[in-house]
Amino acid sequence: MPEQTFRYAACGGANTVLGLALFKILLVFVFKYENVELGFYTLKPHNAALFISFCVNFMVGFLLMRYVVFVDSNLKGRIQFFRYGLTFVFNLVLNYFLLKIFVEVFGWWPFLSQCLTTLIIVTISYLSQKHFSFKKKADTQ
């Protein structure tokens, strides 16, 4: 296994466990499976837990990807951060719709649905991080 793939698996795995744990804690103990009233909009508890856990995972994930996994990327940090943000938003939207389908259409349990959704997102995320957010620029000489 290439070292970069191993580092991605280790860092991504730790960040995924953090996200799933945070999702479960928020869903069960903070929101108690009840809708979250924002005044102007009501969020289902699994969606509120998803957005909060993703915000934490965004910062932790970027730092791990930049300083541990893709250390050979020669793109500037602000470009990496912007690209990481774009892929993050894409993954968040995809996660939201998959979670919505699994929970609200199929009637599956929210935590099980989030675990399955995470497996799909991890694959897409690795490819987008490697080939877009943290890719190496070709040397121009």
Instruction: Write out the chain's pLDDT in tens, 141 residues.
Output: 889 889 988 998 899 899 989 999 999 999 999 999 999 999 999 999 989 998 999 999 999 999 999 998 888 999 999 999 999 899 889 988 999 999 999 999 988 998 999 889 888 988 898 888 888 776 555
Q: Which amino acid is at 16?
A: T
Q: What pLDDT is attached to residue 33? A: 92
Long-range contacts of 93-100 (CB under 8 A, 24+ apart): 94/120, 94/121, 94/124, 95/50, 95/54, 95/121, 96/47, 96/50, 99/46, 99/47, 99/50, 100/47
Contact between 49 and 23 under an 8 Å Cβ cutoff? The reply is yes
Contact between 128 and 87 under an 8 Å Cβ cutoff? The reply is yes
Q: What pLDDT is attached to residue 21? A: 95
Q: What is the largest CA-CA distance in the chain?
A: 59
